[in-house]
Amino acid sequence: MDSALIPEGVKRCSFGKFAIWLVIVGAVLLWGVFAMLLCWFKGLNQTNMNDAYGFALWIWADLAVIALGGGAFFTGLLRYVFGKDELKNILNYAVLIGFICYSSALLILAIDVGQPLRAWFIFWHANVHSMLTEVAFCLSCYFAVLTIEYIPLILENRQIDRVPFFHNLSHNMHGIMVIFAATGAFLSFFHQGSLGGTPAVLFGRPFAYREGVLIWPWTFFLFTWSAAACGPCFTILITWITEKISGKKLVKQEVIRLLAKIAGWMLATYVVAKIIDTWYWAAVTAPSKGFGIMDFYADNPVYGIWILILEVGICGVIPAIILITKTGRKYSFLLILAVFLAVLGVCLNRWVMVLQVMAVPVLTFETWFMYFPSWQELATTILPVAYGIILIMISYRYLPIFPQERQMEEEKHVSIFV
Amino acid sequence: MKKQIEAKKYGMVIDLDKCTGCGACMAACMSENNVSFRKDESNKLDSITWMRVYKLTNGKEFPEADMCYLPRPCMHCEGEHGHAPCVSVCPATATDYNHETGIVSQIYTRCFGCRYCMAACPYHARYFNWWDPVWPEGMEESLSPNVSSRMRGVVEKCSFCFHRYQLAMNKAYNDGRRELEEQEYQTACTQACPAGAITFGDLNNPNHAVTKIAQPDSKHGGRPKNPNAFRLLERLKTNPKVYYLSSREWVRRAGDNYIENEGKKEIL
Amino acid sequence: MKVCRRSFLSLIIGGAAGTAFSPLPWKLIDDASIWTQNWPWTSVPEDGEVSHVNSVCTLCPGGCGITVRKVNNRAIKIEGMKGHPVNDGGICVLGVSGLQLLYGPTRVKTPLKRTGVRGEGKWKKISWDEAIAEVVKKLVSLRKEGKSHTVASISGSDRGTVAQLLGRFLTAYGSPNFIRTPSIQDSYELTAHLMQGGQDQVGFDAENSDFVLSFGSGLIEGWGSPVRMIKANSKWKERGKVVQIESRLSNTAAKADEWISINPGTEATLAFGIANVIIQESLYNTDFADNYSYGFEEFKQFVLSEFSPDDVAEITGVSSSTIESLAKNFAKASKPLAVCGRGKGETPGSLNEFIAVNALNALVGNINKKGGVWSVPDLDYIKWPEPEKDLVAENGMNKGRIDCAGSSKYPDTRYLLDRLPSAINSGEQYPIEALFVAGANPLYTMTDSKKVKEAFDKIPFVVSFSSYMDETAENADLILPNHVFLERYEDVPTPPGMQKPVISLSKPVVNPLFDTKHLGDVILLIAKSFGGKIADAFPWDNYEACLKETLGNDWDKLVDDGYLFHSNFRPAAWGNAFSNTPSKKFEFVNKGKAESVKIEGDEQSYPFILMPYDSMRLASGFIGDPPFAIKTVEDTVLKAKEIVVEINPRTARGFVEGGYAILSTPKGQAKVRVHYSDGVMPGIVAIPRGLGHTAYDDYLAGKGVNFNELIGLVEDPVSGLNAAWGIRAKLTRA
C-alpha cells in the first residue's frame, strides 16, 4: 500500500502488519504520555523522588541514554575525521539512534524539572561554574547537529528525493557533513564529559567526588571515554536486534567487526583508567573525607560490593577482552554478549554515579536512603523507548538507512539462482 | 567620601548542651517564613523544615544510652571564596553567595527546579516543593508579606531570615547609619529558642558573641579554636557558618566521618 | 485559486522562520515563565503598617508573655515577650503556632446547637440571645426542681477573674460542683497544705538552685511553666547540677548531669532511702528539724527502720552506693532542690511520693530559702464580696460535692475530677443534669476514656465554651464559643511553680474574627437573666468593666507593660511560714506505707509495662497540636496514621523496627508501630501522649491513639487523686 515510499530494492513487511505494531507500541507511548501529563499538571509529587533523591530514575535515564547515543558522535568522528569509510554503512543508523537518544533526553528533562516553562533560564541566567550549564548548551547544540545529520536521511526518502530542491539539499548537506561530524564530536566530548563532571564536582558527597585536572574531575574524561566505547556497542546491539526482527542482514559483518574492534580498544583503555581512578578514590580521596570504601557498600539492602565488581569486572573487563580479540569478534554469540555487557556496564555506571550517590548518607546521624520509582516515572522513562521504536520503525521502513542492505538483498537472490 | 564597609559574615553558634529538642526553633522558622505544611508530614523526606532538629544517639545500650538534639539550619557554606557546594552547581544562578553578608541566597522565581543543588548539599538543608503549598481556609491571614511565597517545583531553604536583615538595614539607613547593632538583626530561630541555645551574629566582628564563643580560625578555613566547638562535616571543606558546642566527646565526634580509630587531631 | 504544493511549503517554512526572528516567540516564552511565578493559587500576602501587641499565651498553664507582630489588621507572628518575668523572650512550639488556632478551620464561628445525635457533627447556627436563653431555660428548670446541685462545671483553672466568675455563678446558683482539671498542682497543693498549712501555691526558686534532684519530672518537657524551666535548665548548665531519676531516657534525663534509671513506680521508696542516708550521716538541717518541725522523730524512725540503702536498692534497682553518694551530694550542695511529678505533670500522682520528696526538701532546709521550695500566696486582687445565697442556693451548696472532694473520705483534697465518671456511672450519689466545660477538653484528657464517655452520655445537657471543635465540643449539646486568647482581655495570675507572684494581662491582638463571645460576658449575661440574688452577685455591665474594676489601679500599668511582677516578694521566714498547721510548725506527716503504687493488669497476661512520656512537640492538654507543631513530631513518634511506641531492642523479640504491632492493655487496644530505643528500660513500652485526637482537623485528627484510652484510674488511698503511672500491656503481631 505504501510501497512508493519504501526505498528501492529492499523488501518490507505488509503495511497492515506494520500498522498493527505501530498501534501496539503507540499504546505504550500513550501510557507514557498520560504519565507525562500527570507530572506536568499535578507536579512532581507523582514520582517517588524526595528531598534525599532529587536525582533519580529520570536523571539516570538521561545519563544512560546520552552515553548510549554516543555511537553517533564517535562513529561520525571515526568516519569523517579518521577516515574509516567502511563505517558509513552503519553511520546512518548510529545517527538515527543518537537522534532518538538525545531527543529522549531532552523530553525527560522537560518532565523532570520543577518548572519546565522556566527551563530557558539555564541559557538566560547561565552560571558558568555549573556543569549543568555546559551540559545544557552543548546538548542543545549537539541535538541541533544530530537533527542536521538526520535531515539528509529523511530527504533520501524515495518520494522526497524526487523533488530537485530536496535532492540537491541532501547532496550538499552530505558534502559538508564532515564539519558537523567534527562539531558533533567536539560538542559531545564536552557534554559527555560534563555529565560525568556533574556528580564528580560534588565535594559535599564523598561517594561521588573525584580529583581531576584544572576544573575537570577525572570522571569528566571517563564519561566521554565510556560513551565513546559503549555508544558504538549500543549501535551494534540495536543493529543486531533490528536484523533479528527483520530477518535479514543489514550491515556486513566486517563493518560490525571493525566498529567492535575500535569500541573494544576504547573499552579496554577505559577500564584500565577506571580501575586506576577507582583505586585512587578509594585509597586517597574518600578517606580524606572520613570514608573507607566499605562505608559505601555496607549496611543497606541494595548497594554491596557486588555492584562494583559487576560494573567494572563483569561488564568492563570481560567485554573488553572479548572485543579486542579476533576470536571474540569472530563468534557472533561472543560479540553480541560483549556489546550487551558493555551497554549494561555503562548503564550501571550511570546508575552508580547518580542513584548510589543519593543513597549514601554523609551526615553520621543519617541512614541510607532507599528509592524505587513510581509507575509514572517508569511510564515516562519507557515513553522515549516506545517513541524510539516507532521512529526506527518508520525510518527503517521509509528511509535508506542501511547502504549495504540493497546489495546484500541482491546477492541473496543471485546466490539462489546460481 | 563613603567609608569602606567591612564585609559581614553572619553565622551561628548552637549550644547542644542547652538545646532541649523542644522544636520551638522549627515552628518559629515556619511561622516567620511562610513555610507550607501538609496533612501528613511524617515522611521526613518530603517535609519542608528549613530548620530541622535531629536526634543523635551514642549507640550504647540501656542504661548507658545517651542522646542529644542537634538543630540544623542551612549552613550557608562559604567553601573556598564563596564556592558553596550548592552555589557552584546551580545552572540558573538562582542561588548565590553574597560576599557582603556571607548568606547564600535563593531566588524562588528564578529556580526552575533541576534539584542539582539538593544533590550537592551534604546537609540536606535544601527542600523541594513537591506539592503546591495549600493553606487551610483562613490561615492565609497569618502569612508574612516580608517573605515570598513559593510555588511548586522550586527549591527553598533557610535564608538566615534575610528579610530581617533587609528590614534592619532599612531602619538603619533611615536613622542615618550604615552599621547594625548585634541585636538589631537576629534570626527567628535564635529569638524563639527558650533555652538560649542559639546565638547569631557577625563572625567577622570580634565583639559579637558568635565570634567570642566559636573563635573561628581564618588561617585554617574558619574551623573553631574553641575545643568544645565543631562544625558538621568539617573535613569536606564546605566551610559552614554554623558552629556547634558540646561538652560531650561522642557528640563532637558525631559531627564528622572518621575512618575507624582515626583521631580528630590528626586530620585537621 | 489553486495553491500548489511548493508555494504552500514555502509559505509555511518562510512563515516559521519569520516568526522565529520576530519578538513574538521570545516574548511568549518570557511570559510563560512569568506566569509560573504568579499562578493565582500562589498567595501574595498584603503588606502594610507593622505594629506589635503585647499579650499572654494561655494555650497551657505556663503563662508566657508574648509579643504579636501585626501587618495592618493581620497577626502574622507570635514571639516571646522580652523582659517578661516568666519567659523573657523565649517561646515554645505550641505558643509560636498559636496563629494557626486563631485563623484555622477548627474555629467554632458562632454559637451552635446540636441537631443530630451527639458526636454526629450536625449543628444549627443560633444567635447569642437564643444560646443564652437555652442555657438559662435549662438552669431555671433545674432550680425549680430543687436540683441546682446537679449542675457541674469543669474548668481548666480556678484562678483569675473568668474562672472565679464561673465558680461564683455556681455558688450563687446553688451548686458546689466547680471542678478543676487534675494535675500535679493538686498533689503539690495538698502536700503543702498537709505539711506547711494553708492554701498557698507551691513555687520553686529553680533558677537559683545548684543541685536539682528530679524524680521523673519533665523539667524541659513541659513541667511547671515550660519555657521558664527550659531557661532555668540553661542556667543550670552554666552553674549547677541536675540529677534525673527516671525509667526512660527522656530529654530531661539526657540533658541531666546524671541519669539514674529506676524501676518504675518506686520513686517514693528512693526518696525515703535518700532521706535515710541524709539522716544517718547527719547531713540534715538540724536547725529546721529541731526548731521548726513537728514529728521529726517519728519520721526519723520510719525512715531509718524501713529504708536502708540495701532495702531500697532491691526495690528500686538503684545500687546502694548510688543512693548513698546521691544523698550525700544532694545534702552537701549549697542550694539543693528536689522536685517530683512525672513528665509534664498532667497526672496528679501518689501523695506519698510528694510527701517523701517534700520531706527531702525539709531535711536539707530549703523551704522558703534561696534555690528551694517556696510558699507563694495567691494574689488577692480579686476582692469581690461573698455572693449572697438565696434558699435554693443554700440547699444546693449543702448537698456535698459530686466528686467527694473535701468530704470525710478525702478531707483535704479540693478537686477530684477523675472521680466524676464513677460517681455518675455508679448512680450512688445524685445524677449530673447539666455540665459546663471551660478551658478544658475532658473527653480527651481524662483517664479511662470509655468510662468518661459512658458518664458523659448520662449527662443530658452538656455545654462547651471551647473556641475550637475539640472532642468535648464535638459531643456537646450547645457550643458557646469563647474568643480565642488573642481576641480577649483576661487576667493571667501566677503560673504553676513560679516563685514570685505575677499577673499578666491578655489583650486582644485582633478584633474577634467571628461571632464569638467572651466567656466572662456570657456568665454575666446568664447571671443577669436570673435576677434576684444571683444577678446581684454580678454587678458589672460587662466583663471588661469587671476586669478593669477588679484590677483597679493596676489596670493602666498592666495595659502598658503587659504584666505586674512582684519582684520584691520574699517567702515567709520559718518562724511565720507554718502558722496554719495544727502544731504551727512544719509537719513531717506520714500518710501510710510507702508501697509503690500498684498498676492495673496481671503480669502473666500482660508482660510489658506501658508508660506514657511527654514531649514539648505534642500538646496533650486541652489544646491539640496545630499544624506547625504536629509537623515537628519525629517519624519515630508518629508515622503516617500510626503512633510509634518505643521498646528496648532486648525485649523486641519478633518485632521489626518500624513494623506493626497490636498494643493491648486491660483497658483497650490499638494498632501501633514499634521503634527500638536503647533509652527505654527492658520490659517497658513507652508511648507518647497527645495523639489519638478524633476532633480538630485533618492535620491532627485520626493520627495515633489517645493514651487515655489505654489506661485506667488508680486512686490514691488518701487523696483520692489519680496515681496511675502506667498500666500493664502486651504486644502482639499485627
* Nearest C-alpha in B relative to C625: B27
Asked if residue A268 is part of any domain, the answer here is yes
Q: Stretch C32-40: mean pLDDT, rounded?
A: 83
What local confidence, expressed as pLDDT, does residue B263 receive?
A: 63
B79-110 per-position pLDDT tens digit: 998 999 999 999 999 999 999 999 999 999 99
Strand C241-245 to strand C211-217: parallel, antiparallel, or no bridges (unpaired)? parallel
From residue A412, alpha-carbon distances to A13, A399, A409, A415, C495 in Å are: 18, 21, 5, 5, 100
pLDDT at A418: 45
pLDDT at C484 over 60: yes
Tell me the backbone φ, ψ of residue C660, rounded to 5 degrees. Answer: -85, 160
For chain C, domain boundaries: 130-184+380-485+518-562, 201-376, 608-733
Neighbours of C315 (CB within 10 A): 18
* CA C286 to each of CA C124, C292, C327, C364, C437: distance values in angstroms, whole numbers, following the listed order: 68, 10, 16, 9, 48
C-beta atoms of C249 and B65 within 8 A: yes
* Domain annotation covers residue A212: yes
For A118, the closest chain C residue by CA position comes to: C33
The pLDDT score that the predictor gives to residue C9 is: 80
Q: Report how many domains make up chain B.
A: 1
CB C604 within 8 A of CB C543: no
Task: Tell me whether C230 touches chain B (CB under 8 Å).
Answer: yes
Return the CATH fold of C608-733. Answer: Barwin-like endoglucanases (2.40.40)
CB atoms within 10 A of CB C349: 30
- Count interface pairs A-C at CB distance under 8 A: 12
Could you count the other beta carbons within 10 Å of the beta carbon of residue A408? 15
Q: What's the rounded mean pLDDT across residues C702-730? A: 95
Answer whether residue C295 shows pLDDT above 70: yes
Which residues span the domain enclosing A378? 17-406
pLDDT digits (tens, 9 = 90+) for A397-413: 999 999 888 888 888 77
Residue A414's pLDDT is 72
Nearest CB to B152; choose among A114, A125, A365: A114
Give the residue from chain B lying closest to A129, CA to CA.
B88
Residue B3 has pLDDT above 60, yes or no: no
Q: Mind listing the pLDDT tens digit for each residue in C638-691?
A: 999 999 999 999 887 889 999 999 999 999 999 999 999 999 999 999 999 999
Query: From the CB of residue A283, how many other CB atoms can be counted at a distance below 10 Å?
Result: 11
Q: What is the pLDDT of residue C480?
A: 98
Residues A114, B114: C-beta atoms closer than 8 Å: yes
The whole-angstrom distance between residue C661's C-alpha and the CA centroid of its chain comes to: 30
B254 in a structural domain: no
**Sign of the dihedral through C-alpha C596, C600, C603, C607:** negative
**CB-CB contact of C448 with C707 (8 Å):** no
A279 domain residue, yes or no = yes
Q: What pLDDT digit, counting tens, does each position of C442-456 carry? A: 999 999 999 999 999
**Is the residue at A260 inside a domain?**
yes
- pLDDT above 50: residue A164: yes
Report if residue A6 sits inside a domain.
no
The average pLDDT across C427-444 equals 96
Cβ-based neighbour number of residue C508 at 10 Å: 18
Structural domain count, chain A: 1
Min Cα distance A300 → chain C (Å) is: 14
Residue A179, CA distances (Å) to A97, A100, A403, A410 in order: 20, 21, 22, 34
Taking the Cβ of residue A289 and every Cβ of chain C, the question of whether any pair is shorter than 8 Å is answered with no
- B118 CA: distance to closest CA in chain A (Å): 6
Backbone angles phi, psi at A45, to 5 degrees: -70, -5
- pLDDT band with cut points at 50, 70 and 90 for residue C15: confident
CATH label of the domain that carries residue B103:
3.30.70.20
Residue A193: φ, ψ to 5°: -65, -45
Tell me: pLDDT of A391 over 90: yes
What's the gap in Å between the CA of C23 and the closest CA on chain B?
22
Q: What value does the mean pLDDT take over residues C716-731?
A: 95
Position A8 scores a pLDDT of 84
- Ranges of H-type helices in C609-723: 627-631
Are the CB atoms for A257 and A414 separated by under 8 Å? no
Q: How many residues does chain B have?
A: 268
pLDDT number for residue C728: 97
Contact status, residue A417 vs residue A24, Cβ threshold 8 Å: no
Mean pLDDT of all residues belonging to chain C: 94
- Please say whether the structural domain C130-184+380-485+518-562 has been given the CATH code 3.40.50.740: yes
What confidence score (pLDDT) does residue A417 get?
52
**Cβ of B114 and A113 within 8 Å?**
yes
Asked whether residue B236 is domain-assigned, the answer is no
pLDDT in tens, A102-136: 999 999 999 999 999 999 999 999 999 999 999 99
Q: Does A42 touch chain C (CB under 8 A)?
A: no
Whether C12 and chain A come into contact, CB under 8 Å, resolves to no
CB contact under 8 A, B153 and A133: no
Neighbours of C320 (CB within 10 A): 17
As a whole number of angstroms, the distance between CA A231 and CA A374 comes to 28
* pLDDT per position as a tens digit, A253-311: 999 999 999 999 999 999 999 999 999 999 999 999 999 999 999 999 999 999 999 99
Q: pLDDT confidence of C48, banded at 50, 70, 90?
A: very high
| CATH number reported for the structural domain that contains residue A353 in this entry | 1.20.1630.10
Residue B255 has pLDDT above 50, yes or no: yes
Name chain C contacts of B31, Cβ cutoff 8 Å.
Answer: 77-78, 96-97, 99, 628
Chain B interface, best mutation among C47, C99, C109, C234, by max B CB count within 10 A: C234
The rounded distance, in Å, linking the Cα atoms of B265 and C433 is 74
Residue B256 placed within a domain: no
Q: What is the pLDDT of residues C234-258, one digit of tens each?
A: 999 999 999 999 999 999 999 999 9
pLDDT at C1 over 60: no
Q: What is the ipTM of this complex?
A: 0.95
Which of A345, A263, A265, A350 lies closest to A310, judged by CA?
A345
Query: Per-residue pLDDT averaged across C320-327, rounded?
Result: 97
Q: How big is the CA angle at B198 (ends B193 and B200), to the nearest 5 degrees?
A: 120
Could you tell me which CATH number the domain at C201-376 has?
Answer: 3.40.228.10
Q: What is the DSSP letter of C53?
A: E
pLDDT of B264 higher than 60: no
Nearest to C259 by CA among B1, B63, A407: B63
What digits encode the pLDDT tens for the residues C508-540? 999 999 999 999 999 999 999 999 999 999 999
Where is C211: in which H helix or E strand?
strand C211-217
Mean pLDDT (chain A, rounded): 93
Look up the domain containing B105 and give its range.
21-201
pLDDT band at A44 (very low <50, low <70, confident <90, very high): very high
- Contact residues, chain A, for B112 at CB < 8 Å: 113-116, 118-119, 121-122
CA torsion, ordered C57, C62, C63, C68, to nearest 10 deg: -30
Question: Are A235 and A75 in contact, with CB atoms under 8 Å apart?
Answer: yes
Confidence band of B268 (pLDDT split at 50, 70, 90)? very low
Give CA separation, C86 vs B175, C491, C502, in Å. Answer: 33, 15, 9
| pLDDT 10s digits, C263-277 | 999 999 999 999 999
Q: Which chain A residues contact residue B151 at CB under 8 A?
A: 115
* pLDDT band at residue C595 under the 50/70/90 scheme: low
Averaged pLDDT for residues C409-435: 95
Whether A154 maps to a domain, the answer reads yes
d(CA B244, CA B71): 9
Q: Which of B119, B152, B155 sits opposite A202 (nearest CB)?
A: B119
Q: How confident is the model at residue B1 (pLDDT cuts 50, 70, 90)?
A: very low
User: What's the pTM value of the predicted model, to 2 decimals?
Assistant: 0.94
C-alpha cell at B263: 583521631
C-alpha cell, A341: 555487557
Task: Give the other-Cβ count within 10 Å of B174's Cβ.
Answer: 8
Contact in structure between B108 and B148 (CB atoms under 8 Å): yes
Cα–Cα separations (whole angstroms), residue C474 to A402, C115, C466, C483, C621? 77, 12, 10, 18, 17
The whole-number average pLDDT for the span C348-363 is 96
Secondary structure class of C382 (helix, strand, coil) = coil
Contact C331, C364 (CB under 8 A): yes
Q: Is A203 on the interface with C (CB under 8 A)?
A: no
pLDDT at residue A345, as a whole number? 97
Closest in B45, B56, B112 to A115, CB measured:
B112
Give the pLDDT confidence score for residue C592 in this predicted structure: 60
